[in-house]
Structure 1
Amino acid sequence: MNGPNGILVVASDPLLRKVVTETITPLIGDTEVLAVSQTRATPDRLAGAEIVVLAARDNDFQSLGNVFELSKTCGRPLLLITAGESTEGRTVAAQLKIPSGLLVSIPELDIRSELKAASSRIESALRQARVDRPRPAPPPVAPRPVQTRISPEPAKPRPPEDIGGVPYLGTVICIGSSTGGTDALMTVLSGLDKDCPPVVIVQHMPKDYVEDFANRLNQSCTIDVMLAYDSQPLRPGLAVVAPGDRQFRLRKGNKGIWTALGESERIGGHCPAVDVMMKSAAQELGKKSVGVILTGMGRDGAEGLLEMRSAGARTLAQDEASSVVYGMPKVAFEEKAADTVLPLQKIAGWISGVTLTLPK
């Protein structure tokens, strides 16, 4: 590193350290970027950097404790990048008096693509850090509150029974995914026709990023994709993604099928849980539903998919070779919840085929 003109990336996780460095390097011109582990983040290195970039996954905060303490007095601007669902990053940012603009959080799903998507935020944070330098040792004042982006809550619509027009009472496609699911969902949804049956999705993801993810899908797919809201009527050609902080269910009445957002408590370790969505589909829709489990860690969705199959629904699990993590699909297969197993690239075609024989 060339004196105070370099950027120092500190991360205990080797992959995160590498990908953060690769993301930052093209954003800062000729400035050198040096990446080190927490054991090599010496006081001299921290104090000699133009900007210190601290990067952590959910499980890394304890191992970086010493670096956080040294960072308090290094006198350099700090940028904190976190990957995962934990809120510990906000706590650390407050302790280190890092402004909200210098805290960048991404889901721990596909770190490389998520960091690429966040590159504009990272570039803005680096510019802000350069404006802030040199930063003296923090004065003994109360931490600035960390500002969290909150999407405006859409106005609650009239109950579906009161909405005019022909109600939709046909088939609904239910998809659950976790690790690796962002890319998998893009592949599946982009392969569906604009008049396909409605799609409901639970993707394990921090709540602050679900709406942005839904917008990205909407821009890339023929069908309409949006963040789900409570009492939202379903229609052909529409996919809705469950919010990241409410349990998500389906409800059916004489005049339509709609969404129901419920409690915020985790069920099976997740909120929303794929199991909750799929069990509601089994109970409300029975054979007028299709269940799909994509790549992901753990076993969420297997019980719900089995209930769907028992109720007469067609069910599918992604195969091992095309899964980023063969956890959720594996359990679904082993517990005989899936009547079909296919690679990712064939799933959209399968959905289109089976729904042709089901009521729309």
Structure 2
Amino acid sequence: MSAPADILVVALDPLLRKVVTENVTPFAEGATVLAVSQTRATPERLGAAAVVVLAARDNDYTGLRPVFDLVKAADRPTLLVTAGESSEARAAAADLRIPGALHIAIPELDIREELRAIAPKLEAALKQARRDRARAGPAPTATPPRPASPAPAVEKPRPPEDLGAPYLGTVICIGASTGGTDALLTVLSGLDRNCPPVAIVQHMPKDYVADFASRLDQSCRIDVEIAHDGQALRPGLAVVAPGDRQFRLRKGNKGIWTALGESERIGGHCPAVDVMMKSAAQELGKKSVGVILTGMGRDGAEGLLAMRQAGARTAAQDEETSVVYGMPKVAFEEKAADTVLPLKKIANWISGVTLQLPK
């Protein structure tokens, strides 16, 4: 088990857990922040925490009910963050005897922006919880206190640890080239914030990938990042392959993660869509979805065909909406795509087929 956390963030929804933790951490004042799923909110962790932050969407309360009982038993100062303004949220606050100052309710729209907007209120609530903690006395835990050590002159905040259950579900794989930057924005902005993880290969010089990923992240409800080696995938996250390494997916008992490999070109490309999609076919099989968007050449057709043969659902962008009808055309001609769609319908198609796939 990890060392006790000063601030313990508990949420059933992984995206809400991540966003709340991101917004709590700047006000932690050097305290340890730990993010866990409801199944990892043990009595020991709750009892050792100085402050507990519970976060819930409107449909999470049934799953969090056992945690509420543990929180009451631990008797730790608790901050409740609710996305949505249902009667269940108010009932939860009353059940936990959380005062109004420690109950932060935000609309269930763009939770990242909503939390940023109420940052002063969040900071004040954490300070109030700390004052309550001081009055509550030491935490009832047998764990000895950690010795204080002098901090270095300059230290970046340590990223919070997330001990949620590993993700082993569906992954969406998208490949694109010429015209793909705008096409990807259209597709990703149409996906729900809790959609399955997305792996992207966009043919682009490496020096432009960071700005591209940042633009997507700012414009979409899901999180978009440049992939790094060994990065765990999760719902609500899209990763863009860096522009100078081959990009693959790997799967094991501990989840699904990214693997960055060689820098050599394959089929004339690094990264190559074929490489990513062939790895998805091998590792994920029918628990994957493949999409080829606008682009020049034939990269991705072999990989998409491998995915289809492994049982995955596959699609290609149609000629009318493609800036360059090269990659999608080859994918269609080689029967790699089981459907052809205009660009604006691809996000809805992805959402529909992922609901039908095995969990």
The verdict on a shared fold, with TM-score over 0.5 as the criterion, is yes
Matching residue's letter, 1:236:
P
Cα distance between partner residues in 2 of 1:163 and 1:207: 29
- CA apart distance, 1:359: 3.4
Q: Sequence identity, in percent?
A: 86
Cα distance between partner residues in 1 of 2:199 and 2:171: 7
Residue 31 of structure 1 corresponds to which residue in structure 2? none
- CA apart distance, 1:165: 2.3
Count residues with an aligned counterpart.
202
Residue 329 of structure 1 corresponds to which residue in structure 2? 328
Residue 183 of structure 1 corresponds to which residue in structure 2? 182
Cα distance between partner residues in 2 of 1:172 and 1:289: 5
Residues 145-193 of structure 1: per-residue CA shift (max 9 Å, x gap): xxxxxxxxxx9x99xxx97320000000000000000000000000000
State the TM-score, normalizing by the size of structure 2: 0.55
Query: Where do residues 321-360 of structure 1 align in structure 2 (5 Å cutoff)?
Result: 321-360=320-359
User: SS of 2:348's equivalent?
Assistant: helix
User: Could you list the runs of 5+ residues in structure 2 that have no partner in the other structure?
Assistant: 1-155
- Which runs of at least 4 in structure 1 moved beyond 2 Å after TM superposition? 162-165
- CA apart distance, 1:259: 0.0
- CA apart distance, 1:197: 0.2
Cα distance between partner residues in 2 of 1:344 and 1:359: 26
Residue 249 of structure 1 corresponds to which residue in structure 2? 248
- CA apart distance, 1:358: 1.4
Residues 77-106 of structure 1: per-residue CA shift (max 9 Å, x gap): xxxxxxxxxxxxxxxxxxxxxxxxxxxxxx
Query: Are 1:220 and 2:219 an aligned pair?
Result: yes
Cα distance between partner residues in 2 of 1:195 and 1:340: 24
Cα distance between partner residues in 2 of 1:245 and 1:291: 22
Cα distance between partner residues in 1 of 2:238 and 2:275: 18
Residues 203-254 of structure 1: per-residue CA shift (max 9 Å, x gap): 0000000011000000000000010000000000000000000000000000
Residue 37 of structure 2 corresponds to which residue in structure 1? none
Matching residue's letter, 1:277:
M
Residues 61-89 of structure 1: per-residue CA shift (max 9 Å, x gap): xxxxxxxxxxxxxxxxxxxxxxxxxxxxx
Residue 168 of structure 1 corresponds to which residue in structure 2? 167
User: SS of 1:239's equivalent?
Assistant: strand
Cα distance between partner residues in 1 of 2:339 and 2:167: 27
Query: Where do residues 54-133 of structure 1 align in structure 2 (5 Å cutoff)?
Result: none
Cα distance between partner residues in 1 of 2:335 and 2:175: 16
Residue 239 of structure 1 corresponds to which residue in structure 2? 238
Cα distance between partner residues in 2 of 1:353 and 1:164: 29
Cα distance between partner residues in 1 of 2:178 and 2:358: 32
Query: Are 1:202 and 2:189 an aligned pair?
Result: no
Cα distance between partner residues in 1 of 2:347 and 2:162: 31
Cα distance between partner residues in 2 of 1:250 and 1:207: 20
Residues 108-129 of structure 1: per-residue CA shift (max 9 Å, x gap): xxxxxxxxxxxxxxxxxxxxxx
Cα distance between partner residues in 1 of 2:358 and 2:237: 16
Matching residue's letter, 1:180:
G
User: SS of 1:351's equivalent?
Assistant: helix
Residue 267 of structure 1 corresponds to which residue in structure 2? 266
Cα distance between partner residues in 2 of 1:348 and 1:183: 14
User: SS of 2:358's equivalent?
Assistant: coil
Residue 81 of structure 1 corresponds to which residue in structure 2? none
Residue 309 of structure 1 corresponds to which residue in structure 2? 308
Residues 11-43 of structure 1: per-residue CA shift (max 9 Å, x gap): xxxxxxxxxxxxxxxxxxxxxxxxxxxxxxxxx
Query: Where do residues 31-50 of structure 1 align in structure 2 (5 Å cutoff)?
Result: none
Matching residue's letter, 1:355:
T
Cα distance between partner residues in 2 of 1:298 and 1:353: 29
User: SS of 2:209's equivalent?
Assistant: helix
Cα distance between partner residues in 1 of 2:310 and 2:180: 26
Matching residue's letter, 1:341:
V
RMSD across aligned positions (CA): 1.7
Cα distance between partner residues in 1 of 2:236 and 2:337: 25
Residue 210 of structure 2 corresponds to which residue in structure 1? 211
State the TM-score, normalizing by the size of structure 1: 0.55
Residue 317 of structure 2 corresponds to which residue in structure 1? 318
